[in-house]
Amino acid sequence: MNSKDTKTNVLKILIIMFAALLTAGTAGFMILSGDNLWVAFYQTVLILLTHFYHEVSGSVSQQILILILILGSYIIVAYVIKFLAEYFFEGTFKENRRKKTMEKRVNSYADHYIICGYGRVGRQIAEELEEERVDFVVIDRDPVEAEAASGKGYVVIPGDPTDEQVLLKAGILKAKSIIIVPGSEVDSLYIVLSARSLNPDIYIIARARREEGMAKIKKAGANEVTMPEQIAGYHIATMALRPAVVDFLDIIVDGKHDELQIEEVQIGPGSVFVNRPLSFYLSQTDDVAVLAINRVDGSNKINPAGNEMLSVNDRLILMGARKQLEKVSQKIKA
């Protein structure tokens, strides 16, 4: 039994004790003193709340009843004081305040990211998103992992990410993307189904452990399905075959290097580049290179020519310095 259940049981016992004392006292005064129901009830309540009875006269039975009521009320008060002390000084109050703070932060988010699972892969993803200075929420059912994420200063929702209510608490209705990396492939499948049903427009990236699992998760609604082991193997093999190329790519993809980065930017409906050829873009922003165009229909143009027409919601893969990328991104998104 956990601490929360124990405290709940204590409260139930205290309520039962108070009700029992109230009933016994009322019945006792009616029988022993001949009081009517209201007088007996009123007298019992006064004794339980003030722990005092003014009259010394009365039978021994009445005096014993009064002592029992006073002692019983003291026991209840002692447990109430103990409960309040534990609430304020043993972390419950602090934990509740932390939860409310987390809820406020999540409610203030829009277009944020959700990470389901804070294992080895989830930790690395959180570090990268933190480095990129974007808003994100971590969900993990393991209290140890959730506490570890919270210790890093991340916004954490402890709970089962397969539960739709937990996803709602993480702000999935307003989230931009959800990254699903739990330990179980079955969990990935359930989370994808829940995420897609709650937010049809959210971008879903999910982890698979087997080749056959990738197809199932993709059918469930994931936009991208990845196998970290496969990616790691490819990266290591490329590192062995073309070490200089890998070093260069690591530099431009790593957000820590301001001198050269790669960014993906979606063309907004109010952008000056809509229905214009790429040559117009190049004439306006010659300090940021266009590596590729990802079309809305799913097609891609690598190293596109200047006569390629740009449309709303096309995504440009850009390379340049951070400051120039930020400046160009505002024009493209507008």
**Average pLDDT of the residues in 211-233:** 87
Band the pLDDT of 142: cuts 50, 70, 90. very high
Name which of 148, 151, 128, 126 is nearest 137 in CA terms. 126
Cα distances from 130 to residues 110, 137, 209, 256, in angstroms, run: 16, 11, 26, 11
Q: What is the pLDDT of residue 74?
A: 84
- What are the start-end ranges of the E strands in the chain? 113-116, 136-140, 155-158, 177-180, 203-207, 224-226, 261-266, 289-294, 300-302, 315-320
**Average pLDDT of the residues in 233-242:** 80
Gap between the Cα atoms of 187 and 195, Å rounded: 12
What does the DSSP 8-state code read for residue 199?
A: -
Q: What is the pLDDT of residue 52?
A: 65
Check whether 316 has a pLDDT greater than 70: yes
Three-class HEC string of 242-253: CHHHHHHHHHHH
Those residues with Cβ within 8 angstroms of residue 253's Cβ, 6 or more apart along the chain or in another chain: 261, 262
Got the DSSP string for 49-76? HH-------S-HHHHHHHHHHHHHHHHH
Q: Which of 109-118, 158-167, 321-330 has the lowest mean pLDDT?
A: 321-330
Check whether 113 has a pLDDT greater than 60: yes
Residues 321/259, Cβ–Cβ less than 8 Å: yes
What does the DSSP 8-state code read for residue 91?
A: S
Check whether 42 has a pLDDT greater than 80: yes
Gap between the Cα atoms of 200 and 223, Å rounded: 11
Gap between the Cα atoms of 189 and 195, Å rounded: 10
What type of residue sits at position 115?
Answer: I
Q: Using DSSP, state whether 283 is helix, strand or coil.
A: helix
Check whether 89 has a pLDDT greater than 80: no
Q: Using DSSP, state whether 286 is helix, strand or coil.
A: coil
Return the higher-pLDDT residue of 79 and 284: 79
**Average pLDDT of the residues in 227-243:** 80
CB atoms within 10 A of CB 282: 13
Residues 278/290, Cβ–Cβ less than 8 Å: yes
**CATH fold of 3-89:** Helix Hairpins (1.10.287)
**Average pLDDT of the residues in 290-305:** 88
Q: Using DSSP, state whether 268 is helix, strand or coil.
A: coil
Per cent of the chain over pLDDT 70 is: 88
Return the higher-pLDDT residue of 278 and 195: 195
Per cent of the chain over pLDDT 90 is: 31
What type of residue sits at position 153?
Answer: G
**Average pLDDT of the residues in 213-226:** 91
Torsions phi, psi of 206, nearest 5? -130, 155
Biggest alpha carbon–alpha carbon distance for the chain:
108
What is the tens place of the pLDDT at every residue in 1-28? 555 666 677 778 888 888 888 898 889 8
**Average pLDDT of the residues in 63-75:** 83
The domain ranges of the chain are: 3-89, 109-230, 242-333
Check whether 254 has a pLDDT greater than 70: no
Cα distances from 169 to residues 83, 141, 185, 223, 232, in angstroms, run: 29, 14, 23, 22, 33
Q: What is the pLDDT of residue 32?
A: 85
Q: What is the pLDDT of residue 200?
A: 94
Average pLDDT, the chain: 84
Q: What is the pLDDT of residue 196?
A: 95
Check whether 129 has a pLDDT greater than 90: yes
Q: What is the pLDDT of residue 251?
A: 67
**Average pLDDT of the residues in 195-216:** 91
**CATH fold of 109-230:** Rossmann fold (3.40.50)
Check whether 255 has a pLDDT greater than 60: no
Q: What is the pLDDT of residue 217?
A: 93
Q: What is the pLDDT of residue 44?
A: 85
Q: What is the pLDDT of residue 205?
A: 95
Q: What is the pLDDT of residue 91?
A: 58
Q: What is the pLDDT of residue 141?
A: 93
Q: What is the pLDDT of residue 65?
A: 82
Cα distances from 276 to residues 286, 313, 316, in angstroms, run: 16, 13, 14
Looking at domain 242-333, which of 3.30.70.1450, 2.30.29.30, 3.30.565.10, 3.40.50.2000 is its CATH number?
A: 3.30.70.1450
Gap between the Cα atoms of 147 and 163, Å rounded: 19
Q: What is the pLDDT of residue 57?
A: 62
